[in-house]
């Protein structure tokens, strides 16, 4: 029987980094993954996920890796550009919980260049326009909030589980957003640099 509050609980075991870092995760607990396709990465990344990248300089990688019993997505972007994987799901109820386990890191070696790794929740209307966005992120630059963007800064290179209630997040951070227009959720993992070369 499906409960009133459908849980989007799942673990993304994500290891983002720019340049070189290494991390391990604890063994997964059982999770519910009725809405997110391949949210535990037990299948190849082309199941449920769309990957894209742009290399202005350097290279990027989007991989599925495993440590012990855990599968996780692993994004790397060095120098200029970005690497991203994402999927869009329909939302018929905002009162849902989402859990994600992350390990984020970023390194910048040039003044004026910022590197960022982030887990991004974008609230979309029926035309896929972004109405509000939440980012759990680590950046070498200051993260700035706005009426349609809220950042949760994260310490670098440590595994941490985050649980968010979608309705609560919208109520707390996006008072001017018309929640009745939110019809979809884009879930993305993103590693990027704010310039076209060097980082």
For residue 14, pLDDT beyond 80: no
When mean pLDDT is compared across 17-26, 32-41, 141-150, 156-165, the lowest value belongs to 17-26
Query: Cα separation of 147 and 12, whole Å?
Result: 27
pLDDT by residue (tens digit) across 44-61? 888 889 888 887 787 778
Q: What is the three-class DSSP state of 170?
A: helix
Instruction: Identify the residue with better confidence: 39 or 49.
Output: 49
Residues 6+ apart with CB under 8 A from 52: 83, 84, 85
- Contact 9/100 with Cβ under 8 angstroms? no
Q: Please give the backbone phi and psi of residue 59, each rounded to the nearest 5 degrees, phi first.
A: -145, 170
CATH no. for 10-193: 2.60.120
pTM for the predicted model, two decimal places: 0.80
- Strand-strand pairing, 81-90 and 70-77: unpaired
Q: In the numeric block, which tokens belong to residue 162?
A: 């985050």
Query: Cα separation of 160 and 101, whole Å?
Result: 5
When mean pLDDT is compared across 20-24, 70-74, 136-140, the lowest value belongs to 20-24
Q: What is the pLDDT of residue 72?
A: 84
Residues 6+ apart with CB under 8 A from 62: 45, 51, 53, 73, 74, 75, 76, 83, 85
Binning pLDDT at 50, 70 and 90, where does residue 148 land? very high
Q: In the numeric block, which tokens belong to residue 99?
A: 């859990």
Q: What is the pLDDT of residue 26?
A: 33
Binning pLDDT at 50, 70 and 90, where does residue 12 land? very low
Q: What is the pLDDT of residue 114?
A: 86
Query: Cα separation of 37 and 166, whole Å?
Result: 18
pLDDT by residue (tens digit) across 49-98? 988 888 778 777 888 888 888 888 888 887 778 889 999 999 989 999 99
Q: How far is CA 21 from CA 75, 118, 169, in A?
A: 12, 15, 31
Q: What is the pLDDT of residue 97?
A: 92
């Amino acid at each position: 029987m499906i409960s009133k509050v459908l849980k989007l609980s799942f673990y993304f075991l994500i290891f983002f980094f720019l340049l070189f870092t290494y991390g391990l995760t604890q063994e997964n607990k059982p999770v519910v993954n009725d809405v997110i396709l391949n949210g535990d990465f037990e299948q190849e990344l082309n199941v449920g996920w769309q990957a894209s990248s742009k290399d202005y300089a350097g290279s990027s990688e989007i991989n599925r890796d495993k440590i012990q019993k855990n599968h996780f997505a692993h994004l790397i972007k060095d120098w200029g550009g970005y690497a991203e994987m994402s999927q869009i799901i329909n939302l018929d109820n905002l009162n849902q919980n989402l859990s994600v386990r992350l390990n984020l890191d970023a390194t910048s070696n040039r003044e004026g260049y910022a590197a960022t790794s982030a887990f991004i929740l974008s609230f979309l209307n029926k035309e896929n326009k972004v109405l509000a966005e939440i980012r759990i992120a680590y950046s070498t630059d200051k993260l700035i909030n706005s009426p349609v963007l809220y950042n949760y800064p994260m310490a670098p290179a440590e595994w941490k589980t985050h649980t968010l209630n979608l309705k609560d997040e919208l109520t707390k951070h996006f008072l001017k957003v018309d929640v009745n227009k939110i019809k979809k959720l884009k879930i993305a993992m993103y590693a990027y640099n704010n310039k076209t070369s060097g980082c």
